[in-house]
């Protein structure tokens, strides 16, 4: 059997291991041609990888669009939920606790959204957590500049009432924890360990 460099092997493994449903035979076909190649293996493997990315993108397009749309709008959506709650609570709680509570509830919506998407795609929970934070911040910034224009410098922006790096870190924490919980719950349900004895 023709030998390839470790890098070529790694590329073709990446491209042909675990292809999307319905593309298994084609992945095997691409790999079989790779095995017969004497030269140009890296280019062939890279092409296979780009084919796989195209298939993955097409088969997950609905999920990706929903994910990006929710993440971009989550900041605005969470205000619709969080503010009415805070307004109700302000009769019961001291004013000094309302600010942190608002941010905690915003973080919770971030975690819940990440958890919901990670429950659908448990294997990708880290990417979901990171992606949720990224698109959420992009959405917030777009909204912020749409409302306030260019009169506010990014350096003066605060996220969750903290400097940008700390605020983004906090958002990332909420998202990753939510995604981890979502994937754990989804896996537990699929294994059946969370089903009631009656339904088992």
Q: Which of 9, 23, 56, 187 binds another protein (CB under 8 A)?
A: 23
CB of 11 to another protein, least distance (A): 11
How far apart are the C-alpha atoms of 61 and 126, rounded to whole Å?
A: 19
Q: Which of 4, 8, 11, 44 binds another protein (CB under 8 A)?
A: 44
Binding mask 52-91 for another protein (x = CB under 8 A): --xx------------------------------------
Helix (H), strand (E), coil (C) string for 42-94: HHHHHHHHHHHHHHHHHHCHHHHHHHHHHHHHHHHHHHHHHHHHHHHHCCCCC
CB of 9 to another protein, least distance (A): 14
**Rule CB under 8 A: is residue 42 a binding residue for another protein?**
no
Q: Which stretch binds another protein (CB under 8 A): 18-26, 124-132, 173-181, 190-198?
A: 18-26
Q: Which stretch binds another protein (CB under 8 A): 28-36, 118-126, 129-137, 169-177?
A: 28-36
Residues that contact another protein, how many (by CB under 8 A): 23
CB of 109 to another protein, least distance (A): 39
**Rule CB under 8 A: is residue 51 a binding residue for another protein?**
yes
Query: Residue 81: is it exposed, middle or buried by C-beta count within 10 angstroms (0-12/13-18/19+)?
Result: middle
CB of 51 to another protein, least distance (A): 5
| Cβ neighbours of 135 (radius 10 Å) | 18
> Sign of the C-alpha dihedral, residues 75, 81, 83, 85?
negative
Biggest alpha carbon distance in the chain?
76
CB of 20 to another protein, least distance (A): 11
What pairs with residue 162 in β-bridges? 159
Alpha-helical runs (H) found in 60-196: 61-89, 95-120, 125-148, 164-191
What does the binding site for another protein look like in residue numbers (CB under 8 A)? 1, 23, 25-26, 28-33, 35-37, 43-44, 46-51, 54-55
């Amino acid at each position: 059997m023709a030998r390839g460099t470790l890098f070529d092997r790694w590329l073709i493994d990446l491209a042909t291991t675990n292809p999307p449903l319905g593309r298994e035979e084609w992945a095997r076909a691409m790999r079989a041609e790779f095995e017969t190649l004497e030269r140009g293996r890296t280019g062939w493997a890279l092409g296979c990888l780009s084919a796989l990315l195209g298939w993955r993108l097409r088969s997950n397009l609905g999920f990706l669009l929903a994910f990006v749309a929710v993440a971009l709008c989550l900041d605005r959506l969470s205000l619709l939920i969080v503010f009415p709650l805070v307004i109700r609570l302000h009769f019961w709680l001291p004013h000094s606790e309302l600010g942190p509570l608002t941010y905690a509830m915003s973080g919770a919506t971030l975690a819940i959204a990440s958890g919901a998407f990670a429950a659908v795609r448990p294997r990708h929970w880290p990417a979901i957590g990171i992606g949720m934070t990224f698109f959420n911040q992009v959405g917030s910034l777009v909204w912020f500049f749409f409302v306030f224009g260019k009169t506010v410098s990014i350096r003066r922006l605060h996220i969750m009432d903290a400097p940008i790096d700390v605020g983004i870190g906090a958002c990332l924490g909420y998202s990753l924890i939510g995604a981890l919980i979502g994937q754990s719950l989804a896996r537990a349900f699929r294994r059946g360990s969370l089903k009631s004895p009656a339904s088992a």
